[in-house]
Chains A and B, each alone.
Chain A
Amino acid sequence: MSSVIVRDVSLNFGAVEVLRSLNLDVAEGEFIVLLGPSGCGKSTLLNCIAGLLDVSQGQIFIKGKNVTWEEPKDRGIGMVFQSYALYPQMTVEGNLSFGLKNAGLPRDEIAKRVARASEILQIQPLLQRKPAALSGGQRQRVAIGRALVRDVDVFLFDEPLSNLDAKLRSELRVEIKRLHQKLANTMIYVTHDQIEALTLADRIAVMKGGVIQQLDGPQAIYNRPVNRFVAGFIGSPGMNFLEGQVSRDGAPGFLVGDLRIPLDRYEFSVANAAGAASLGIRPEHVALDEAGAAMPFSLETVVEIVEPMGSDTLVWTTLGGHNFTFRAPSERTLRLRERVTIGFDPARASLFDAGTDMRL
């Protein structure tokens, strides 16, 4: 059963189309991430689902009920904001119970819910403190708690970790994942950070320009990006792109500079694709030395720049006239201008049509 359905939703601000005819089916208990650069419409979509914004066209269903015209409080949602948005003059306990008191819930019910939420989030010792006396991580937990006490099925997260420093971010990321495993609620999560997306999501919706580019599990998005934008957005360091031609005289191959990369093992999505295209290959899919030579495509190249990163080393070279990066294990010491053999399996590459940017 679908928990949240977005049907043909469009949103215009005046003449600007911010969301274009979006469709999204979120299954019950699923953790879905809306991922994309700033301005892609992900937060806007979340606000529409929440009911904070009116859609220009389309409908929104939550747990089978048409909530397109409902106020946020009647949609069965809880929301967590980037800036926490805790009520500054109230204690943590006050923040958690204010909405419930306003709804007229009996006092013992409120106490019960507050106790349960603070236990799950480990914020019991903080209950009498005010938000100003809390750390960033604690504030975010209280913000999540405020959504928890509402006893709802769907949680909405609007870039909740963006205000935290890197270390806190990874800590809280794990906590959110644990929370999802424990509660099994449906969660819709907005972020621009692809690491958060890849680690947390059951499915990722990559968005650009108000349109969902690809809706898939993290592995599929990583391995088979559906267009060049998705391919370039996911993965750090980014995918290498080589501009060249797909030729079909004899076996299919990719011509770039004076190189020919065999494409016989590549799984084409478009039959008999040919012509100008880009070949994308991730730095981590490139192997060195013997492993490299054993690959279906290998060549010798010159090391230009070496960036040691501790866990491994990022190496820059030139391939077919393009900048090309690959990862080397940190034990393998490389010197500048050293000649080294690298290779990769074209089956792991991605081909994109030069004109449409779509996957071939």
Chain B
Amino acid sequence: MADQATASSVAGFDAVRAPASEAWGPRPRRALSRRNIIIYGTLTVVALYYLLPLYVMIVTSLKGMPEIRMGNIFSPPMEITFEPWVKAWATACTGLNCEGLSRGFWNSVRITVPSVIISILIASVNGYALANWRFRGADIFFTILIVGAFIPYQVMIYPIVIILREMGLYGTLTGLVMVHTIFGMPILTLLFRNYFASVPEELFKAARVDGAGFWAIYFKIMLPMSLPIFVVAVILQITGIWNDFLFGVVYTKPDVYPMTVQLNNIVNSVQGVKEYNVNMAATLLTGLVPLIVYFISGKLFVRGIAAGAVKG
């Protein structure tokens, strides 16, 4: 018996040709099997296609203009220079001023941080109320909220302009923060509601028996155990708000333009020679914040999307 085993394991190296009666142990698998080639090959090719733009962005932003004019966007820089980056940040021209992206960056920060905080606070309380303290009519409003998430923003843009103008907030950062909060509510409320609904009811009932009320339960019980969902919500909102363009361009004046709007102005405002390297540096800078959030958060990001996508 042992001899047969040894003989088979020696034959195992080209076991594909050994007769079936000698079969022993695991099925012989060539690392380069057809299946593996198809799978890994396809995935690698597609991955390259996906990575290409990032590569081009980086490479272009590190070249000097003469090198770019020579021609190949895919070739790595012969001489690395960070000048385009400096220019993009500090001195690029947007058609109205030449102060680079830095102002846009800080505007975006000043827009994103309050929007994220406020929208998440409101939506989490809303979600908690919907999950645990339903009252008559609550479901109707919630449905409207969700349906509202599908309505194209264009339909609601102008009424909001009017409202903001009446409140004196049109064109200010505060106004934009309000807009982001409003439009962030549907998905976030859904997210939180689903999460709090999945908390075992016994926990809630025990707290009620202990005499705790609405806010007490929220702060002492629900908040502490919902850190994961808060992280997901933060990721979703940071990405969504930072990357927004439409609201930025409608509800702000030039001195409070977010980074995305400034970026578009820098690149697409036709003024003489196009400095492609500066453009790419600017593009990269704008995409940097959400990209970093994405790479750090990894799996949580995926969960956030899946949660946002699952309706009802």
A and B touch in the complex (CB under 8 A): yes
- Residues of A near any B CB (own CB < 8 A): 8, 54-59, 65-70
Q: Is B310 an interface residue (CB 8 A)?
A: no
A56–B1 CA distance with the chains assembled, in angstroms: 17
A28–B24 CA distance with the chains assembled, in angstroms: 23
Quote the shortest CB–CB distance from A5 to chain B (angstroms): 12
Would you call A69 and B28 a contact (CB within 8 A)?
yes
> Mind listing 30 A-B residue pairs with CB under 8 Å?
A8-B1, A8-B5, A54-B26, A54-B27, A55-B25, A55-B26, A56-B25, A56-B26, A57-B24, A57-B25, A58-B24, A58-B25, A59-B23, A59-B24, A59-B25, A66-B20, A66-B21, A66-B22, A66-B23, A67-B23, A68-B23, A68-B24, A68-B25, A68-B27, A69-B20, A69-B23, A69-B27, A69-B28, A70-B20, A70-B23
Chain B residue, CB-CB nearest to A7: B1
Contact residues in A for B21 (Cβ distance below 8 Å): 66
A348–B25 CA distance with the chains assembled, in angstroms: 43
A66–B25 CA distance with the chains assembled, in angstroms: 11
A59–B25 CA distance with the chains assembled, in angstroms: 6
Contact residues in A for B23 (Cβ distance below 8 Å): 59, 66-70
Quote the shortest CB–CB distance from A48 to chain B (angstroms): 10
A45–B24 CA distance with the chains assembled, in angstroms: 16
A126–B27 CA distance with the chains assembled, in angstroms: 40
Residue of B5, B21, B23, B28 ringed by the most chain A CB atoms within 10 A: B23
A15–B182 CA distance with the chains assembled, in angstroms: 54
| Cβ proximity bits B2-22 to A, threshold 8 Å, 1 near / 0 not | 000100000000000000111
A354–B216 CA distance with the chains assembled, in angstroms: 57
Quote the shortest CB–CB distance from B20 to chain A (angstroms): 6
Quote the shortest CB–CB distance from A264 to chain B (angstroms): 44
- Residues of B near any A CB (own CB < 8 A): 1, 5, 20-28
Contact residues in B for A59 (Cβ distance below 8 Å): 23-25
Contact residues in B for A66 (Cβ distance below 8 Å): 20-23
Chain A residue, CB-CB nearest to B29: A54
Contact residues in B for A65 (Cβ distance below 8 Å): 20
Contact residues in A for B26 (Cβ distance below 8 Å): 54-56
A66–B27 CA distance with the chains assembled, in angstroms: 12
Contact residues in A for B5 (Cβ distance below 8 Å): 8
Quote the shortest CB–CB distance from B149 to chain A (angstroms): 31
Chain A residue, CB-CB nearest to B20: A66
Chain A residue, CB-CB nearest to B21: A66
A217–B7 CA distance with the chains assembled, in angstroms: 37
A318–B60 CA distance with the chains assembled, in angstroms: 86
List 13 additional A-B contacts (Cβ < 8 Å) besides A54-B26, A54-B27, A68-B24.
Answer: A8-B5, A55-B25, A55-B26, A56-B26, A57-B24, A66-B20, A66-B21, A68-B23, A68-B25, A68-B27, A69-B23, A69-B28, A70-B23
A65–B5 CA distance with the chains assembled, in angstroms: 16
A29–B26 CA distance with the chains assembled, in angstroms: 28
Quote the shortest CB–CB distance from A292 to chain B (angstroms): 48
Contact residues in A for B1 (Cβ distance below 8 Å): 8
Contact residues in A for B20 (Cβ distance below 8 Å): 65-66, 69-70
A67–B25 CA distance with the chains assembled, in angstroms: 11
- 10 closest A-B pairs (Cβ-Cβ)? A68-B23, A54-B26, A69-B23, A69-B27, A66-B23, A66-B21, A57-B25, A54-B27, A59-B24, A66-B20
Chain B residue, CB-CB nearest to A54: B26
Chain B residue, CB-CB nearest to A11: B26
A66–B1 CA distance with the chains assembled, in angstroms: 14
Quote the shortest CB–CB distance from B29 to chain A (angstroms): 9
Quote the shortest CB–CB distance from B184 to chain A (angstroms): 38
Chain A residue, CB-CB nearest to B4: A59
Quote the shortest CB–CB distance from B84 to chain A (angstroms): 49
A70–B1 CA distance with the chains assembled, in angstroms: 21
Chain A residue, CB-CB nearest to B8: A59
A56–B12 CA distance with the chains assembled, in angstroms: 13
Residue of A8, A59, A66 ringed by the most chain B CB atoms within 10 A: A59
Quote the shortest CB–CB distance from B5 to chain A (angstroms): 8
Contact residues in A for B22 (Cβ distance below 8 Å): 66
A145–B240 CA distance with the chains assembled, in angstroms: 53
Contact residues in A for B28 (Cβ distance below 8 Å): 69
A67–B23 CA distance with the chains assembled, in angstroms: 8
A69–B11 CA distance with the chains assembled, in angstroms: 14
A58–B24 CA distance with the chains assembled, in angstroms: 6
Contact residues in A for B25 (Cβ distance below 8 Å): 55-59, 68
Quote the shortest CB–CB distance from A63 to chain B (angstroms): 13
Quote the shortest CB–CB distance from B10 to chain A (angstroms): 15
Contact residues in B for A54 (Cβ distance below 8 Å): 26-27
Contact residues in B for A8 (Cβ distance below 8 Å): 1, 5
Quote the shortest CB–CB distance from A62 to chain B (angstroms): 12
Residue of B22, B25, B27 ringed by the most chain A CB atoms within 10 A: B25
A67–B22 CA distance with the chains assembled, in angstroms: 10
A31–B106 CA distance with the chains assembled, in angstroms: 75
A227–B25 CA distance with the chains assembled, in angstroms: 30
A67–B27 CA distance with the chains assembled, in angstroms: 10
Chain B residue, CB-CB nearest to A71: B27
Chain B residue, CB-CB nearest to A74: B20
Chain B residue, CB-CB nearest to A59: B24
A46–B156 CA distance with the chains assembled, in angstroms: 61
A69–B27 CA distance with the chains assembled, in angstroms: 5
A59–B27 CA distance with the chains assembled, in angstroms: 11
A167–B263 CA distance with the chains assembled, in angstroms: 70
Chain B residue, CB-CB nearest to A51: B27
Chain A residue, CB-CB nearest to B28: A69
A69–B25 CA distance with the chains assembled, in angstroms: 8
Contact residues in A for B27 (Cβ distance below 8 Å): 54, 68-69
Quote the shortest CB–CB distance from B218 to chain A (angstroms): 39
A70–B23 CA distance with the chains assembled, in angstroms: 9
